[in-house]
Amino acid sequence: MKKVLSVMATALLLVTFCGGMAAAKDFQVGFVYVSPIGDAGWSWAHDQGRKALDKMPGVKTSFVESVPEGQDAERVILNMARKGYRIIFATSYGYMDPMLKVAKKFPKTVFMHCSGFKTAKNMGNYFGRMYQARFLTGMVAGAMTKSNIIGYVAAFPIPEVIRGINAFALGVQSVNPKAQVRVVWTKTWYDPATEKEAAKSLLDVGADVLTQHQDSPATQEAAQEKGAYSIGYNSDMSKFAPKAHLVAAVWNWSPFYRYIVEQVEKGTWKAKAYWWGIDKGIVNISPMGPMVPQAVKDKVLAAKKDLISGKLKVFAGPVADQKGDTKIADGKVASDKELLGMTWFVKGVVGSTQ
């Protein structure tokens, strides 16, 4: 018995020692995900970015998945900080306050929080202007709809989702002012069966193009079965519905993650809000399907160019809400702060923000 114990103790020491060695040599980067990376959606997209970091020399990444927001998040982030991780990326809104708490205790570690608004001396936040890609996909939807009803399967009425719906609707209206966007809330980020039912109800009220702010491809499948069109989100979803898939609004986190690691390595990193747009490639649209006419493709790609150059702004006045009240005045462009706290729908969206 004694012998076993002493062997175990030695092994324990060895493990601790080796762990310490690795931490000293490598530039360790940690990721905290809210769902399993197997959801093929939000966390999966971030994990693609993480994998890109692994290819950088001297950088070693690791992640913890399915971390609930709240108590567990604080522990996971704290643990990474204790182990000497140089940068920690937390990829869900609810990680904001837990991360802030930990950041105060580890001034040398760089903390990056996704989709929030708080910063500290050593904590920045970041996000992508997905609404720009949404606008472009909206243009495709507006051009392809015949019934002038476009369905939007959405998860929760929070600003990020509402912003995407509004941008999408503005994109639709820029090519087809008569079309309306109908929103159905599923109140879940990820539940294929529920998402599909929601998608079907939209198809039934006459929608012939569907899009989604959900993590599963169920909406795409529903559209294909009914012979309607669909627009993907998170990643190119064309393999799930080749006949229906027009285009997708996609995340591409790799350039951003690489940039941050380089900045920290060089010592030029700043604790601020990084809100990258389509110009830096953090958001994009996937290649458009063969059913999209060339004229539409050209128009969308031209708009993309204008968005990149800054000539075109998505939330440029005049923009009215559902009741017709002016929310963004003529000649004005919504500020980032207004975008972050968006809780109203633009005119032409059918649905409630409750």
Partner 1 sequence: MDDLIFILAITLKSSIPVLLASLGEIITERSGILNLGVEGMMLVGALAGFVVGQQSGSLLLGFGGAMAAGMLLALVHAFFCIHLRASQVISGLAVTILATGLSSFLGRPFIGRVGIHLGSLPVGPLAEVPLVGPVLAQQNWLCLAALALVPLTAWALAGSWPGLSIRAVGEDPEAADAAGVPVAPIRYACTLFGGLLAGLGGAYLSLVYTPGWKEGMTGGQGWIAIAMVIFATWRPGRALLGALLFGGLTALQFYFQATGAELVPAWILRLLPYLLTVGILFLVTVLKRTRFGAAPAALGQPFFRG
Partner 2 sequence: MAISLRIRKRQTPLKLQSGLVLAGALVLSLALSALLLKLQGKPAGQAMLVIFQGAFGSLWALEDSLIKAVPIFLCSLGVAVAFRLQIWNIGAEGQYALGAVGASWVALSFPSLPWYLLQPLMLAAASVTGGLWGLIPAVLKLRMRTNEIIVTLMLNYIAILFLDYLVYGPWKDPRSFGFPMTRQFDTAAVVSKIGESNLNWGILVCVAAGVIFWIFFRFTRYGYEIKAGGENIRAARYARIPYDYLVMLVMVLSGALAGWAGFLEVSATVNRLEPSIMVGYGYTAIVVAWLARLNPLFIGVASLLLAGLRVGVEQLQLDFQVPAAFGQIMEGLILLTVLAGGFFVNYRFYLGKKD
Interface ranges with partner 1 (CB under 8 A): 36, 38-40, 151, 182-188, 190-194, 196-198, 200-202, 204-205, 207, 216-218, 221, 225, 239-240, 350-352
Rounded to 5 degrees, what are φ and ψ at 157?
Answer: -75, 70
Ordered DSSP codes for 129-152: -HHHHHHHHHHHHHHH-SSSEEEE
Instruction: Give residue 55's Cα distance to chain centre.
Output: 23
Q: Which is nearer to partner 1, 136 or 203 (CB)?
A: 203
> What is the rounded distance in angstroms from the CA atom of residue 179 to the CA atom of residue 148?
4
Q: Which is nearer to partner 1, 4 or 193 (CB)?
A: 193
The candidate with the shortest Cα–Cα distance to 98, out of 87, 86, 111, 84, is 111
| 193 touches, from partner 1, partner 2, none (C-beta below 5 to 8 Å by class) | partner 1
C-alpha to C-alpha distances, 152 to 40, 187, 200, 288, 351, nearest whole angstrom: 19, 13, 11, 19, 10
Q: Which is nearer to partner 2, 64 or 320 (CB)?
A: 64
Q: Which is nearer to partner 2, 75 or 280 (CB)?
A: 75
Only one of the segments 77-85, 193-201, 220-228, 243-251 lies at the binding site for partner 2 (rule: CB under 8 A); that segment is 77-85
Among 51, 82, 104, 305, binds partner 2 (CB under 8 A): 82
318 prior amide bond cis, ω within 30? yes
The 3-state DSSP composition of the chain as helix, strand, coil percent (nearest 5) reads 45, 20, 35
Only one of the segments 11-19, 126-134, 208-216, 292-300 lies at the binding site for partner 2 (rule: CB under 8 A); that segment is 11-19
Q: Which is nearer to partner 2, 13 or 205 (CB)?
A: 13
Among 6, 21, 70, 301, binds partner 2 (CB under 8 A): 70
The candidate with the shortest Cα–Cα distance to 168, out of 180, 178, 158, 186, is 180
Residue ranges in 114-173 that form contacts with partner 2 under rule CB under 8 A = 117, 156-159, 162
Token couple for 69:
């927001």
Residue ranges in 93-112 that form contacts with partner 2 under rule CB under 8 A = 93-94, 97
Output the smallest distance, CB 341 to partner 1, in A: 24
| 192 touches, from partner 2, partner 1, none (C-beta below 5 to 8 Å by class) | partner 1
Ordered DSSP codes for 237-294: -TTT-TTTEEEEEEE--HHHHHHHHHHHHHT----SEEEE-GGGTSEEEPPPPTTS-H
Catalog residues that contact partner 2 under the rule CB under 8 A: 8, 11-12, 15-16, 19, 30, 36, 38, 62-72, 74-76, 78-80, 82-83, 93-94, 97, 117, 156-159, 162, 187, 340-343, 354
